[in-house]
């Protein structure tokens, strides 16, 4: 009896990656255009992805869900050696880079929520002492004109 060997498929089509990762093929193309993931081309000039792209896509989606900008994600992924799969050690390195940013955002959102409680019912959002729109009249001290457009 002849023993059949199963060939392990090492490259995935965009459709296979989309199906397994839950993102649209257009999202894969977008991520690739931004340098977040890479593909190769086969003889028919069709995209093919290594299996580890599934982990990269998962990390991208997690990072986006917590509000990390794509540029920051790209920078973080860029420190990994070329062609290396993301393991637990690499994930710890990536996530630690984002922790400080997340803590800052949590602090900012908590302060915003607490200040918002004091503004409900006011409706002004433009008085000199509004903690949300113009804290400590910082806009008034900068002179006249559109100041918020510069932010």
Residue 18 maps to a domain: yes
Nearest to 38 by CA among 24, 25, 56, 21: 56
Residues 97 and 72 in one domain: no
Is residue 102 one of the residues assigned to a domain? yes
Q: Is residue 112 part of a domain?
A: yes
CA angle in degrees (0–180, nearest 5) for 18-30-47:
60
Q: Within 13 Å and on the Cβ side, how many CA atoms surround 121?
A: 2
Give the pLDDT of residue 105.
87
Q: Tokens in use for 105?
A: 């955002």
Number of domains in the chain: 2
pLDDT at 134: 61
Q: How far apart are CA 91 and CA 146, in angstroms?
A: 43
Beta bridge partner(s), residue 47: 41
53 Cβ contact partners less than 8 Å away, ≥ 6 residues apart: 12, 17, 37, 38, 39
Closest CA to 128 of 118, 120, 116, 136: 136
Domain residues for the domain of 27 are: 9-86
Is residue 14 classed exposed, middle or buried when 0-12, 13-18 and 19+ CB atoms within 10 A define those classes? buried
- Residue 66 in any domain: the answer is yes
Residue 147 lies in a domain: no
Q: What is the pLDDT of residue 130?
A: 66
The model's pTM is 0.67
Q: What is the pLDDT along the chain (151 residues), one digit of tens a residue?
A: 555 554 456 899 999 999 999 999 999 999 999 999 999 999 898 999 999 899 999 999 999 998 889 998 998 888 777 766 778 888 888 888 788 888 988 998 888 887 776 665 565 655 555 666 666 666 666 666 565 554 4
Q: Give residue 138's pLDDT.
A: 65
Task: Look at residue 146 and tell me if it is in a domain.
Answer: no
Q: Are residues 71 and 95 in the same domain?
A: no
Position 1 in a domain: no
């Amino acid at each position: 009896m002849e023993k059949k060997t199963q060939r392990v498929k090492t490259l995935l089509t965009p459709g296979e990656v989309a199906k397994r990762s839950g993102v649209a093929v257009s999202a894969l193309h977008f991520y690739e255009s931004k340098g977040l993931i890479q593909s190769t081309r086969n003889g028919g000039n069709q995209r093919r992805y290594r299996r580890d792209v599934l982990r990269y896509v998962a990390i991208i989606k997690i990072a986006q869900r917590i509000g990390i900008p794509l540029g920051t994600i790209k920078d973080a992924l860029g420190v990994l050696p070329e062609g290396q799969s993301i393991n637990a050690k690499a994930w710890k390195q990536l996530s630690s880079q984002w922790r400080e940013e997340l803590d800052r955002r949590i602090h900012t959102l908590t302060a915003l929520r607490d200040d918002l409680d004091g503004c409900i019912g006011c409706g002004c959002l433009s008085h000199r002492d509004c903690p949300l729109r113009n804290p400590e009249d910082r806009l008034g001290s900068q002179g006249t004109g559109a100041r918020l457009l510069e932010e």
